[in-house]
Amino acid sequence: MNLLYGFSFYPEHIYEEEAYQKDLKLIKESGANVVRMGEFCWDVLEPSEGVYDFSTIERAVNDLGKMGIQTIICTPTACPPAWMSRNYPEIAYVDNRGIRRDFGARHHYCYNNETYRGFTKKIVEKIGETFGKNPYVVGFQIGNEFAQEGSGRCHCDVCRGKFVQSVKEHYKTTENLNQSWGLRFWGQSYTDFNQIELPIAPTERDARPLIKSYFDSPSLRLNFERFASDSFIEYFNLQADILKSYTDKKITTNTTGFGTNGVDYFKMFQTADVFGLDAYPDLYRDNMDNSSFENSFARNIIRNEKFWMLEFSIGGGHGLWSGEGRLQPYPGAIENAVMHTFASDAGAVVHFQYKIFCSGAEQLNYALIDQDRVPRRRYFEFQRTMEHLKEHSAVLEHSQVKKADTAILIDYNSLWALRIKPVKHEHSYIGYACELYTALKELGYSADVISWKNDFSDYKTVIVPNMFVICDEAAEKLKAYTAAGGTLVGTFLTAIKDTDNVAISESGPCGLTEVFGVNISEIEPVFEDTVATIDFGSFQGKDKYWLDVLEGKGAEPIGTFANSYRRGEMIVSKNSYQKGTAYYIGTAFDDDCTKKLLDTILKEASVAKAPFTLAKGVEVITRECSDGDLVHYIFNFKREDAHVQAEKNCTCAITGKQLGKSIKIAPKGYIAIKI
């Protein structure tokens, strides 16, 4: 079996030989065929400057390898050791308040600092020399969760200098910069590039403001977002290029998916071998909406290459990240979530972690086994999952998720711009995109989450949620797609600003008014006491988040206000544009209305659904085999039986058993079927 299933293992935490041997025995008996190790042990690998000791990790790699267990080796660059922080304090990360992040946690380094990059090169070269040709190593993970925990926007002097230089290279003159950023506002014009300071207001989820009411230039902030993202990409490639000189094994890093959004992953993985991510879904409750959305994103970053899930939920316990404890998995939920991930086109699923940490910030957090090394239900469920994965491996390895007829376009500039200047506390760019994806999924439609820079010309429907920032290239691609016969679905907050984060001086949606056949006549947020009813003729819904009230310029209204002083005004439109059709959805809706509206649009675009009637909490993933046959994986995320009705008689794709049209799926169960 080529699919990889295992967990993170930390041999550097083990001091007694007896405990080490017991761990090897438990790992072997678990059935795992891969472990991940090394991401936090620079202090072990280089205990003092220039002195290297890889014996602990190398021994574990070889001992496990002889048991048939492969290893993903990580570079330890997320955690520089104490001697480095003490002897070279200039490597420290500096936050938006000017506070240095000293040794004692993790991610306490500046990714642009040349001293730190020098140490990075040396340790990565040693890793390449030691493990590049090791037959038991299957791949390499670079660092750990870039830009996590408020570490993605360093404000040190090195970063400021590099940022100022990047601005100077792009804009050439201060006159051009001042005009492009609109810096006459509040008298913020520059006469010298060296007058530029880094933004004070934070955009990172875990960062704190220095001054509560400090409003930097939105243009400065968006340019700094791009600069910081590019800096991480440069740091990633620095390590990847070194490893490539020593190995032909796969090279990746473990992203946080849409968790922190500090790095443009579309750009980062242009030169990587496989996309990697971490995900911690709630394995007790009844949905996997966010995971499903992120998995679609993951499998489309590097198309036709299975992604690696490098950290994945396995248990519950004491809290850290949420500030409170976490529920243990509902029986069957581990297998359900793991098989869902493999069915979504993962090539590897690696749980975090093998054994609970007894010490440190993540002590008593979730793991396969507890601190007493006694196998219990999570361990046994892991064993069963591996056995069932082997049964499904022939199908999973010789098929891939069928390309969807619908694409959802993601744009990091828009994500960052809406985080810099939010429109409503309850609204988020990714959250709304996930709402649309989930509505499609519950209707039985599949969707590919992709970059607008991808070729989307062969999709029947393209949905563009909140593309707040528009450039000429994106606008022209959307026009050409629609003109050629595609169905384009735009939403509120589309095509308002340019890539400098400056509002475009024309009617919105800017550059696309001809395509959509509307102008935006008025905008405002939706509050609890201003919620209105929107009438679509055959159904109604309630608005939420934001309003782009529409003025027709050729489009027909399909959704209008049924009450309030806006009664009769257009909020959802439909327009014929050359060979195609363009819809503009001027607000968000409650779940039921969203599904009815999208169902109407996709039916008119001749987009086919999965051949099942699905209940909430049930998902179907359709995979296309190398011989053209389709296999439908159906997952029940609920804690009760699910009943699925198929259009035709079905058979189990694994056993060949006849199932008929009515399929019962146990709580947290799943099935692979053919029709």
pTM of the model: 0.96
Q: Check residue 164 and give its pLDDT.
A: 98
Question: Above pLDDT 70, what percent of the chain?
Answer: 99
CATH number listed for the domain at residues 406-604: 3.40.50.880
Residue 202 has pLDDT above 90, yes or no: no
Q: Check residue 259 and give its pLDDT.
A: 85
**Is 106 assigned to a binding site?**
yes
Residue 265 has pLDDT above 90, yes or no: yes
Q: Check residue 158 and give its pLDDT.
A: 98
Residue of 323 and 137 predicted with greater confidence:
137
What's the one-letter identity of residue 61? Answer: V
**Is 144 assigned to a binding site?**
yes
**Is 159 assigned to a binding site?**
yes
Q: Check residue 322 and give its pLDDT.
A: 66
From the candidates 145, 294, 435, 569, which is the catalytic residue? 145
pLDDT in tens, 84-114: 999 999 999 999 989 999 998 899 999 999 9
Contacts of 394 (CB under 8 A, 6+ apart): none
Q: Check residue 563 and give its pLDDT.
A: 94
pLDDT in tens, 305-351: 999 999 999 988 887 666 778 899 999 999 999 999 999 999 999 99
CATH superfamily of 612-674: Golgi alpha-mannosidase II (2.60.40.1180)
Pairing of strands 487-491, 533-535: unpaired
Distance from C-alpha of 164 to C-alpha of 158, rounded to nearest angstrom: 10
**Is 321 assigned to a binding site?**
yes
Residue 432 has pLDDT above 80, yes or no: yes
pLDDT in tens, 398-427: 999 999 999 999 999 999 999 999 999 999
* H-state helical runs in 50-108: 55-66, 82-87
pLDDT average, residue stretch 11-15: 94
Mean pLDDT of the chain: 95
**Is 510 assigned to a binding site?**
no
Residue 30 has pLDDT above 90, yes or no: yes
pLDDT in tens, 210-235: 777 788 999 999 999 999 999 999 99
Q: Check residue 365 and give its pLDDT.
A: 82
Domain boundaries, the chain: 157-224, 406-604, 612-674
- Note the Cα 47 to chain centre separation in Å: 35
pLDDT in tens, 478-536: 999 999 999 999 999 999 999 999 999 999 999 999 999 999 999 999 999 999 999 99
Picking from 245, 606, 362, the residue whose alpha carbon sits closest to that of residue 461 is: 606
**Is 378 assigned to a binding site?**
no
Q: Based on the residue annotation, tell me whether 90 is a catalytic residue of this protein.
A: no
pLDDT in tens, 598-655: 999 999 999 999 999 998 899 999 999 989 999 999 999 999 999 999 999 999 999 9
CA angle 469, 470, 471 (to 5 degrees): 130
From the candidates 204, 225, 294, 311, which is the catalytic residue? 311
Picking from 427, 433, 426, the residue whose alpha carbon sits closest to that of residue 411 is: 433
Q: Check residue 477 and give its pLDDT.
A: 98
Distance from C-alpha of 612 to C-alpha of 10, rounded to nearest angstrom: 44
**Is 154 assigned to a binding site?**
yes
Q: Based on the residue annotation, tell me whether 125 is a catalytic residue of this protein.
A: no
Distance from C-alpha of 493 to C-alpha of 609, rounded to nearest angstrom: 28
